[in-house]
Amino acid sequence: MRDERTNPRVPARPSRSHKRCPACGQAKPLAAFYTTRSGGPSGYCKPCQRSMARLSARRRAAAVRLLAAAHPAEWAAARALVRGQRHPGTGGGGRP
């Protein structure tokens, strides 16, 4: 969307001082929202954003635990690769 500098017929967007968070439904000042990379306020307020991030991290951790329990041998091999061992269970490793 063009601003008044490039198109004088289009008025500038009025600045807002508050925004409604869709998660909690409260109208809060813009200082209660994180800033996106493009400079605008994020979609959710800071407390709701933090609680959603915690919930997402817990879901990911639970999914990893389920995967590790379902495939223990593959999980051990993957962990060994991450730790730098060439062959899991040998105790040695690293790069030659």
**Higher per-residue pLDDT: 55 or 84:** 55
pLDDT tens, position by position, 55-83: 999 999 999 999 999 999 999 998 899 88
**Higher per-residue pLDDT: 92 or 44:** 44
**Res 91: pLDDT:** 56
Q: Are 4 and 13 in contact (CB under 8 A)?
A: no
- Class of residue 42 by CB neighbours under 10 A (exposed 0-12, middle 13-18, buried 19+): middle
Residue ranges per structural domain of the chain: 18-83
Task: In whole angstroms, give the CA distance from residue 12 to residue 77.
Answer: 58
pLDDT tens, position by position, 1-46: 555 556 566 555 666 899 999 999 999 999 999 999 999 999 999 9
**Res 11: pLDDT:** 58
**Res 16: pLDDT:** 82
Task: In whole angstroms, give the CA distance from residue 41 to residue 18.
Answer: 10
What pTM, to 2 d.p., does this model score?
Answer: 0.62
Detail the DSSP E strand segments found in the chain.
18-20, 27-29, 33-35, 41-45
**Res 84: pLDDT:** 85
